[in-house]
Amino acid sequence: MRKILITSKVYDDSFDLLKKDFELIIPETGNFTNDELIRNIVDCEVLLSMFTIKIGSDVLSAAPKLKMVSNFGVGFNNIDMKYADEHGIVVTNTPDPVTEPTAELAFGLMHSLCRRIVELDRDIRIKDKIKWGLMQNIGSTMTNKTLGIIGFGRIGQALARRAVAAKMNIVYYSRHRVKEEIENLYHAKYVPMNELLKMSDFVSLNTPLTAETTHLIGKEQLALMKQSAFLVNTSRGAVINEHELAEALRDNVIAGAGLDVYEKEPVIDPLLLTLNNVILVPHIGTATRETRQDTAKMACENILGFYAGKQDIHRCGKW
């Protein structure tokens, strides 16, 4: 029987779809370590990997029969794609299930920042810290404000849908302009990135992590933003220079930030941890029960589709 190595335990039944045709190697809890991956992958034709687990050439090269990596998650910057492409290994990802929940989180961070929900929740628990009254605890509203979306793909557009409902104005930047029908759907205007940074009240990062997007936002870009603006990152940590963001937040260059992702997860820049104008959550963009189940299903379907010779599996590499 063909073997599949699965890097991490999800729910007990998450990978049952594969059991009829494959022998599954899954950790009892948590994740396999890198050494365990190297040891266990030897006879496997498929690796099913979580977006949080680094899959380097040391792991891929330990499996002479490896045909496919089915990544659980849409971002695949965890995989050594150069090695996979050079060795004819098919790589797939799971775009659809993660789109709406990640946009939900980005929108939630925007809300929490401008209405100071997290900050005020923290303070109300401390005796006499909160002052009550008409002119206390004032935030700002989203209505009629401008949201700048950098990376106007699936998640960026799902965020735009929510922003339209909140009566926001939308501008976006990506390397290519989207079709006019899509722009019209969200009344979204395409602008150069620096213009977007200057004019937006909220900036959301929704690009993949690539060589080009690494440190796309740093000191220079933050200086272009309005002092009253908020930055939200649900893409990948290294799209921002984290320490430069922390310094900008400390110096009130911008009003606040909401972060789901970090440059060196799970380590967070210590300066960020001391600041009140940043909301920090531990990479929970897709952490809902429904999403985990749907993502596992799509990761399984990609594998079954690959073996059935289907063309519509979600390939993200060269093959």
Q: Which residues are catalytic?
A: 236, 265, 283
**Closer by beta carbon to ligand NAP, 55 or else 98:** 98
| 109 binding ligand NAP? (CB under 6 A) | no
**Closer by beta carbon to ligand NAP, 41 or else 81:** 81
Smallest separation, CB 295 to ligand NAP (Å):
10
Which of 14, 92, 102, 221 is in the footprint of ligand NAP by CB under 6 A?
102
**Closer by beta carbon to ligand NAP, 137 or else 214:** 214
Site string for ligand NAP, 150-189 (x = CB under 6 A): xxxxxxx-----------------xxx-------------
**Closer by beta carbon to ligand NAP, 115 or else 154:** 154
Which of 27, 95, 218, 305 is in the footprint of ligand NAP by CB under 6 A?
95
From the list 239, 238, 259, 299, the residue with the least C-alpha distance to 73 is: 299
Which of 60, 283, 298, 302 is in the footprint of ligand NAP by CB under 6 A?
283
**Closer by beta carbon to ligand NAP, 95 or else 139:** 95
List Cα–Cα distances, 80 to 69, 85, 299, in angstroms.
11, 9, 18
Q: Which residue is nearest to ligand NAP (CB)?
A: 153
| 234 binding ligand NAP? (CB under 6 A) | yes
| 286 binding ligand NAP? (CB under 6 A) | yes
| 9 binding ligand NAP? (CB under 6 A) | no
| 235 binding ligand NAP? (CB under 6 A) | yes
Q: Binding residues for ligand NAP, how many (CB under 6 A)?
A: 31
How far apart are the two ends of the chain, measured CA to CA in Å?
A: 24
Interface residue list for ligand NAP (CB under 6 A): 74-75, 95, 98-99, 102, 150-156, 174-176, 206-210, 212-213, 234-236, 260-261, 283, 285-286
